[in-house]
Structure formats: structure tokens, C-alpha cells
Structure 1
Amino acid sequence: MIPFKKILFLILVVFLSFVLLQSCDTTSSSSDYEPITVTGIVSDSQHEPIEDAIVRIINPAPEKVTTTNEFGKYSFELKVDSTTAYTIEVRKEGYIIENNEFIAIVERNVELPAFRLSTVNEGGDNDGEGDPPPEVVGEAASIFLESVSATDIGVMSTGQREDAQLVFQVVDEFGNPLVNSNSVDVSFRVGDHPDEDLNLSSETVRTNENGQASVTVTSGKISGTVQIIAEFEREDGTVRDSQPVRIVIHAGLPSQDHFTIVLDERNKTSNRADEVTVEVLVGDKYGNAVADETAIYFTTNGGFIYGSSFTNGGRAASPLTIGNPIPLNGIATITASTTGENEQSVSASTNMIFSGSPNISVTPETFNIANAEDQQFDYSVTDSNGNPMEPGTNISVTVEGNEIDVLGDVDISVGTPNAIFSNLSELTEYSFIIDDAEPDEINDTPVYITIEVDGPNGSARKTITGRKAKIQP
């Protein structure tokens, strides 16, 4: 029996170790934000620090517990990934339990007002000797953010919440809130901010009976992050200010005037299944990039395209695949759309050439150059729809014959269509001239002209024949 018990004990130890490791793994997830520090002080009704008071954050879970030091001070470290309301409790044997609430904001430390605990015997008739002595609050020593109604607002006139109220707390050196008898003027100023249209409801506010001063910030026309700082001046002339409070101002909805569709290429061969990136630039009516994850929808009457994409930094993209169906005129229309203010559609379209095989035509196709004369030739290179070849296609003209000069469009690399296709003729129509280089010679010789095309659309070649007959004009 003894060996069996040992084996059973070892199995139990291994199992419990495995469970403990798994628990550690599941509770040690990292955060993208730096933890914040929550500090405060606990004293009695006479402002004497209380040592070894139990301080607990009881909501939300998980609970955190610490105790005060000899100076009545305590400190917590919290991981905060969004604006969160916490409930904190302080207790000590012989004292009445106290609770309080505070707001924690991402990456912003919190200094709480002092807890003043009363003994279980305090608050009665004071042994028949009249009311207890009034509280004594010292000079203003520090200021911190007590609460904020919203940390994210929208630019003005876009249907979003446009303002946020910030409440700042002023306390003395023991952490006690100021009272009316020693109130101070708190000034508010804007630190880093996106534009001058931003507004603060007040520049200076006197603290109330709870030692608090509040201000409302209202957004302007530009998105970004704004910093609000509260400060006051002590009797000795030194200025104490709060840590900057960040308010994020989001952009408005998409605007038709700030909606642009662009292509990285505008002419691709229709039989190669190439991809072209279709990109959309989206801004609100003030020119701010719209909020990330704004949905953009795409359609096309040529080839196929991924139907939706989401903005990042005001940009969204989708790949267009060149293929069937091929539009009748070889020019596809791609449309991007989204929804703007008042549920109005916002859209833009652009065109893309699906080009085919090359065709060459030249005028004239027969010729006879007279003595000391020249001849102009006009030629075009297009597909069956009259559209140009894909950019980079090479076009060359060679002339064979004695005593002949040639000038003009004889070595061409096809360019790119512009956004409105107003330059297509420049990409399809060319010309050159050949002339009699030796007018004193009277030999009658043949002349051969060859036009060649080579590129992604394929290859083509056309040759015409004439004479330099030395006919007197």
C-alpha cells in the first residue's frame, strides 16, 4: 500500500502544478498600455495618518488589496485599457468603513482625495461637550482630474457628440478637498491641439465647496488629439498644474467633395489576368481623413473586384482583376461608394482600358517620291476597339532604300493614358517623313517601309513598298 500512496501523491502534485501553470498563462496576458498608479492617503478625523489600514479595490474584478504605510499612504498599480469606474474601500479596526469611486483613464496616474476615517465612537454627542471641532483644511497643494464625461468626441456639425466636461479636484497637502473658506481660482489652458476653433467654456473657475472646478471643451473642425491642463497659483506664487488630459476628436462622415478614386495603372492587356489596385481617398467635409474602418464598396463592369474594403488613415484599396467580362468598347468603369451625412450616398467612378491585340494601319500604302521631294506617312497602332496598347509597348519604323532620310515617330514607347483619357490620340496616332537625300542622283530605286509592334498585347508587323523614281516634279 505504501508505494501506491506515494505514486498517487506524485500524480496529484504533477496535476496541481500543471493547473497552476495553466492559470498563470491565462492570467498573464499583456496589455498594449502602460499600467497606471493609484495613490492616496488615509488619516483620522484629526488628520493624523493611519498605519496598516486595509485598502481594497472591490469593483470591477479582480479585487486588489494593499495596506497603508506609517505615513498613511498607499499605492496600487492597475492595467487600464479604457476609461473605467472603480470602487475603493478603506477599513481599519475601530473605524467606520469608507467607500469612494474614481475614474481611471488609459496611461494616466490617479491621486485620490484623502480618506478621513471616524472611529466607531465619533459622530455622537461628543461626551456631552458640544459639537466636534470643525475640520481644518490646509492651503491648496495639488490638482488632478476627478472625472471626465467623454474621452472621445467628434468634429463640429457632424452629428457626433462635440463636447466633454472635465472635473478637476484641488486638495491640500494631506489630500483633503478644499472648502469655500480656502477656495482657489483654477485656470484652464489648451496644450497640444489640432485647430483654433476648439473652445473652452471658461478660462478661470473658482473651486466650489468640494474643492472642484470644471470646464467643458467643445471640438472644432479638425480631428486629432487635444490636451487640457488645469492649474492654480499658491499663496507663495508657485503654480501647480494637473497632468495633461487627452481628448480625442474624431473626423466626420465621408464627404462627396473629399472622395477620390485612383488607379495605379489605366491600361492592361485583357487576356493576362493581371491585377490593378483601385484606391479610394476619403475625407470629411473639413478635409480630415475619416475614421478608420469606414466601409467602402466597389463595383465594376469589366473583370471583377473585391466588393468592399475599410479605410485606414483615410485610404481604402481593392484589387481589380483584368478578365471577363470585357466591356464592349474595351473600357471598364469602376465605382467606389460609401455613405455620408444624412445617409446620402457618396461615390466616384474611374475608367480602365482592357486592351487587345495590336493592329497597324498606314497612309499612304503606295508612293513614288519625286526628285528632291519628300513624302509624309501617317500611321496608327490600336486594338480592335481603337484603344492604345499597354504602356511600354515598343513601336519601330525602319526604311530600306538608297539615299533616303527618315524623320519623325520611328522609335516609340507607348505612354500611359491620363485620368480622363484625353490623350488617347497621342498614344495611337503617329507620323514620319522620308525624303530624297541625294537630289543630284537620278537612280530609280525601290523603298521598303516596315512598322513593327512588340509588347504585352502581342506583336504585329506591316510593310509597304514604293519607289524613289526620280520623276521630275
Structure 2
Amino acid sequence: MTRHQTSNNRAVLRTAAVPARKTLGGGGAAFLAALLLLSCSNPSGPKRNEAKIQGVVYRNDTRTPVPGATIVLERPVSVATAGEGGSYSMAFTADTTYITNVIATMPGFRSDTEQVVVVPQKTSTVDLYLRADTSSPVTPSQSGDAANIYLVDFTPEFISVSGTGANDVAKLTFQVRDAHGTPVDSAHGVTVAFSITNGPSRGEYIFPSSAPTDPRTGKVTVSLNAGTKSGVVQILATAQVGTKMIGSEPVRMTIFGGLPDQAHFSIAPQMYNFPGLDWLNRTDQIMVLVGDKYSNPVQPRTAVYFETAGGVVDASGYTDAAGLAGVTLRSGNPIGNDPVYGPGFAYLKARTVGENGATVKDSILILFSGFPTEMTLSPSSFNLPVGDQAGEVFTYRIADRFGHPMAEGAAVNVTSDGAPVVLSGDVNLEFPDTQSSSWTTFHFKVNRKESDPGAKSGNVAINIKVTGQNGNRSISLTGYVAY
């Protein structure tokens, strides 16, 4: 609720206008008669003090006064008619402070109801706003000199760079008002000049450069025409009023890119190696970047459509202001089986529509990797005699059931337990996001620890452990080292 002020600064509460049309003709007259009868049946108390309510009736769209409007106070029932300036006033007796309603009606308008706090011996000010529509009569207004310029409408919400087939013109409507908020009339009309104070500076312009205000509404409209580069355009409306220059707040309009262009269409996953082969409903995020032929991001909410040969992907995504659109790929059937790359691989495709209805598309190859089913170590044992300098070289392999590497973040650790040895080579690994089979086979070396004078001969256990999103697994072997 908003607040109006009484003459002694007491608050008057305002409620939303009632939704139904109300006039005092027909049923409205019966309503008024009933209120009058109710008022007569309510005897006054021993103490009678005068209270007063006053205000102005406006139409809500232009904020111009509505002379001739009927104003009804519900308690006690009082009726007044708005004068030429839309003003009204009514005085009545009130013994106590209470809340009641004030209703304004006028044929051709929807009524407005406001709550008011009635205070004995005080005056409350309540302005009422009749809701106008296209059938409402034009109400005359008498404005003062132009004092402010406001942006009241703009369509569409955004435009695109020119020459791409998308909408590249926006219309902005300003309204010039006097110091009281009344739109300027014909006697106080001004010529409004328009200028671009900031922008991409790539051919954008406004038309016309100036225009007079409408004598009935005080409005003036200008068109912003996009250039060949996206960005934010700042527009200023100004008018000379005598020796004073008035102006609007700077208006910012965004020029977005045009239609998708094949040379500016890119797709990438969060994970090229997606650990989803052996699990249901794991997710991988897919992102596309869509630009127009000028390398600008395309219009927001440009639709991009997706399909996949492995798992399930969202059917479509919509670009944001940066030209990005994202969808989710979920693991599940079907299991990818690309005719070139084999089982576990699947292409995910994205497409949209560019200029002249041309299809713009791209695709990526996703590897669905699984549990480290294949984990081997060779040789299976070793013996390092006294004086051995060469050591023993081992090869181990870690792969899923289709021979593919683990996903990004998987870690491999090779450790020993028992008689002292030195381990070198691929003993501490962390996997990148890779589809390469070179990340399935590794090597390490075991040497006697000659630097340890207290070393004693004995058995040694070599342990290899892999952990990560593909699951955890380990293998081991034993050998002997002599000192």
C-alpha cells in the first residue's frame, strides 16, 4: 500500500482499485440510495465535529484531471462532483477517528477506491485515479511549462545488428510533463531533440533527430536503428524551454547480434571423457557459443537443438546475452558405438537456424568411460640380488572394459612395503581430460636402496591403486631384494 498525507501529516492508506467498472447510473444510483438510507439510520452521538476530505481525480494513463467525476464517501455517505480541475471537497461530521472508503466513478472509466482515515476536525487529502482504456473519453488538460522528459514505452525489448535478417529497429516513446506531472498540452508543447551519447559507433543512428510533442498526450516517438556491431547505446532526449534546457535520464538500449553464422558456431563439453559408461544418470554439461557474421553474440533466446548417439541429452537450449546456451547430457542407454572410434564413443550434435533458413551445426565426440575393469601388472614378481644396479622395470595397464582411459581427476599411486627399495617413473599420476589410449599403459622401476646402510634383505610388496570417478581398484605383487 502507498501513503497519502493528511493536513496534519496523518497517514491515509491506499488500496488497489476495485476491478469492476462502477458508475452512478443504473445500479450505481441504487447503490448510492442504499448508502444514503444506511446513513440516515445511524444516529449521531452527542459530540459532533467536522471532518473534511479533499483531492483531485485523475485518469491513470495521462495523469490528467477528470472533471465531472462522481466521488462517494461511504461513511457517512457523502457525494461530490469533481470540478474543472478534477478537484473535489466534502465536509461532514465525525465523532471518532475511523477508516472508510472513497470511491470515484465516471462513465467510460473503471472506478478507483481508496481507504481514508477520517479524523475529527482535520482535513485528509486523497487523490483518485480512474483507470482508462481505449474506450475512455479524452479529458482536457491544462498544463504548465515543460519541466521533465520521461521514457514511457519502448518496443521491442532488444534489437539486433543490421543486415542479418533480424529486427534491427526499436521505437522509444517519451512524454514531456510539467512540474506537477501533467503531460504538456498544445499551448506548452516543445520540440524534443534526440542524440546518441554513447554506443558501438558502427553505423547506429536515430530518426528523426527531433520532433514536436503530441498536443493531446505530450508524447514524442523516435526510432533507434542498429548498426553492424552489438553493444549498449545510450540515448538522450532534450528540449529547450525558454532559457532552460530539460532532458531525460540517459536511456540504455542493447543491440544484440544477428542470426547464427556457421563460422561462429562452437560446441564443447565439460568433460570429453565422461565417466558414465557403467552408471545411470551421471551428467556432463554441454555448451555452445553462437555468434553472427560480425562476430557478435546472437540474439538472446536463440534456440539451439541437440541430439546424441549415446545417453540422453536435453532437446534444446536458448542463448543468453553472451551467445551461450547450455544443456545436460545424462548417462544411460544407448551405449555409444561409433563406427570409426568403436564402443564407448558417441557423437553429440547441435544445430540452429541461420540467415535465409540455413542450418548451422557442429558436433563433438564424447567418450563414455567405465570402471577400471582392466588392471594388469607385468612382470608378476622380481628378485634384486646383492650388487644389482639395473633394477627391475614394470609395465602396468589401467583401462575400462573397452580399453579406454580413466576420466579427469583419476589418481594412480605406486607404493612399496617391506624391505627398502627406490621407486621411480609413473608412480604418482593424475589423469587429464583425455580420450587417448596412451593414458592406459604406464611404467615404473624398482631399484635397491643403496643409500640405506642399515638396509636388510627381505620381501617387498609393490601396490598400485587407482581412485577417481570411474571407481577405485588396486593390484599388487611381491618380490625379493638382497643387501
Same fold, TM exceeding 0.5? yes
Seen in structure 2, the aligned counterparts of structure 1 residues 289 and 396 have a Cα distance that, compared at 3 Å, is same
Residue of structure 2 equivalent to 1:230: 237
CA distance in 2, matches of 1:402, 1:245: 78
1:194/1:76 CA distance change after superposition, 3 Å = farther
In the alignment, which residue of structure 2 is the partner of 1:3? none
Q: Kindly tell me: are residues 443 and 458 of structure 1, through their superposed partners in 2, closer, same or farther at Cα, counting changes over 3 Å?
A: closer
Which residue does 2:326 correspond to in 1?
316
Aligned to 1:451: 464
Give the superposition deviation at 1:275: 1.5
1:303 matched to 2:351? The reply is no
**Would you say 1:353 and 2:368 are equivalent positions?**
yes
Q: Secondary structure at the match of 2:432?
A: coil
Give 1:176's aligned residue: 185
1:416 aligns with 2:439: no
SS at match of 2:356: helix
| Residue 334 of structure 1: aligned partner | 348
Do the aligned residues in 2 keep the contact of 1:303 with 1:324 (CA within 8 Å)? yes
Distance in 2, matches of 1:403 and 1:204, equals 88
> Alpha-carbon deviation of 1:212?
8.4
Deviation at 1:233, TM superposition (A): 2.0
Cα distance, 1:25 vs. partner?
A: 9.2
- Give TM-score, length-normalised by structure 2: 0.59
Alignment equivalent of 2:63, drawn from 31, 39, 45: 39
Partners of 1:254 and 1:282 within 8 A in 2: no
Q: Do the aligned partners of 1:55 and 1:89 also contact (CA within 8 Å) in 2?
A: no
Where do 5+ consecutive residues of structure 2 fail to align? 1-16, 22-58, 68-82, 88-103, 113-126
Q: Secondary structure at the match of 2:406?
A: coil
Report the alpha carbon displacement of residue 242 of structure 1 after superposing the two structures with TM.
Answer: 4.2
Unmatched 5+ stretches in structure 1: 1-22, 28-34, 44-48, 67-73, 80-84, 92-97, 99-112, 116-137
Counterpart amino acid of 2:310?
Answer: G
Query: Where in structure 2 are the equivalents of 1:28-427 lying within 5 Å?
Result: 38-40=62-64, 50-51=84-85, 58=108, 63-64=109-110, 76=129, 86=134, 88-90=136-138, 152-165=158-171, 175-177=184-186, 186-190=192-196, 195-197=200-202, 199-201=204-206, 205=210, 207=212, 215-221=222-228, 226=233, 228-235=235-242, 237-242=243-248, 247=253, 249-256=255-262, 257-263=264-270, 266-285=273-292, 286=294, 289-312=297-320, 314-327=324-337, 328-350=342-364, 351-365=366-380, 367-369=382-384, 371-375=387-391, 376-399=393-416, 402=419, 404-412=421-429, 414-418=430-434, 421=435, 425=438, 427=439
Q: Shift in Å at residue 373 of structure 1?
A: 0.5
Q: Is contact 1:335–1:349 with CA below 8 Å preserved after alignment?
A: yes
The alpha carbon displacement at 1:343 in A equals 2.0
Residue 54 of structure 2: aligned partner? none
The number of residues matched between the two structures is: 367
Contact 2:161 2:257 in 1 (8 A): yes
- Match of 2:396, as an amino acid? Y
Aligned to 2:8: none
What is the match of residue 46 of structure 2?
none
Q: Is the contact between residue 296 and residue 316 of structure 1 (CA under 8 Å) also seen in structure 2?
A: no
Secondary structure at 2:223's aligned position in 1?
strand
- Aligned match of 1:433 in 439, 445, 448? 445
SS of residue matched to 1:381: strand
Post-superposition Cα deviations, 1:106-153, rounded to whole Å, max 9, x if no partner, equal xxxxxxx759xxxxxxxxxxxxxxxxxxxxxx9766666798776653
Query: Percent identity over the alignment?
Result: 23
Q: Do the aligned residues in 1 keep the contact of 2:166 with 2:259 (CA within 8 Å)? A: no
Query: Superposition RMSD on alpha carbons, in Å?
Result: 4.8
Amino acid paired to 2:305: Y
Whole-angstrom CA distance in 2 between matches of 1:388 and 1:171:
71
User: Equivalents in 2 of 1:148, 1:403: separation in Å?
Assistant: 80
Deviation at 1:219?
1.6
| Amino acid in structure 2 at the alignment position of 1:332 | A
